[in-house]
Structure 1
Amino acid sequence: MGSPLSLRDDHDSSELRHLARRSRHAGQSRRLLALAAIYDGASRGEAALLAGTDRQSIRDWVVRFNADGPDGLVDRHGGGQKARLT
């Protein structure tokens, strides 16, 4: 088992909680709160329980957060098929 990915050091748990309160996206708020728990010392497994997901999802969120910051945690929709009606 490898070591867990580290989180960016330009944010902290209180800032992430503040961003979660201000977010208009429920999914982003949930992800920010899970990462805030990790900043506070919770394990990835504990953060997964708090967020109602699994550790793999937490890892994916950490990768997205490290790459794009808090904006990287907004839901990404695949786009799908174009609408036939306009």
Structure 2
Amino acid sequence: MAVSVDRKDHTASELRRLAAGSRDASAARRMLALALVLEGVPRAVAAETCGMDRQTLRDWVHRYNAEGVSGLSNRKEG
């Protein structure tokens, strides 16, 4: 069963706007994948379109649900 995007902070169009203005290309790609999911695009298609596999998209949905947009950036190691 697919993990749902539970946060309601942003609509798909707002995520697209944030992605367009982001200086973090990886986070922007993740925002675009989430926007596709919110628009009802199948997970496999959203993941492939944004250059990731379905499991990776699932992991980012979990992070977004827990941390919001700020959770879509890579964490610094250390």
Q: TM-score, normalised by structure 2?
A: 0.91
Deviations 1:5-36 (A, max 9, x none): 11122321001001101111000000000100
| Structure-1 residue corresponding to 2:47 | 48
Deviations 1:42-85 (A, max 9, x none): 11101111111111100010000001100000112323xxxxxx
Give identity over the alignment, percent: 51
| Structure-2 residue corresponding to 1:22 | 21
- The one of the two structures with greater contact order (alpha-carbon pairs below 8 A, sep at least 6) is 2
The AA in structure 1 aligned to 2:35 is A
Instruction: Map 1:1-86 to 2 at 5 A.
Output: 3-7=1-5, 8-79=7-78
Greater than 2 Å deviation, 4+ residue runs: none
Q: Which has the larger radius of gyration?
A: 1
Q: Which runs of 5+ in 2 are unaligned?
A: none
The AA in structure 2 aligned to 1:13 is A
Quote the Cα distance in structure 2 between the aligned partners of 1:78 and 1:60. Answer: 18
Q: Tell me the matched-pair count.
A: 77
Q: Which runs of 5+ in 1 are unaligned?
A: 80-86
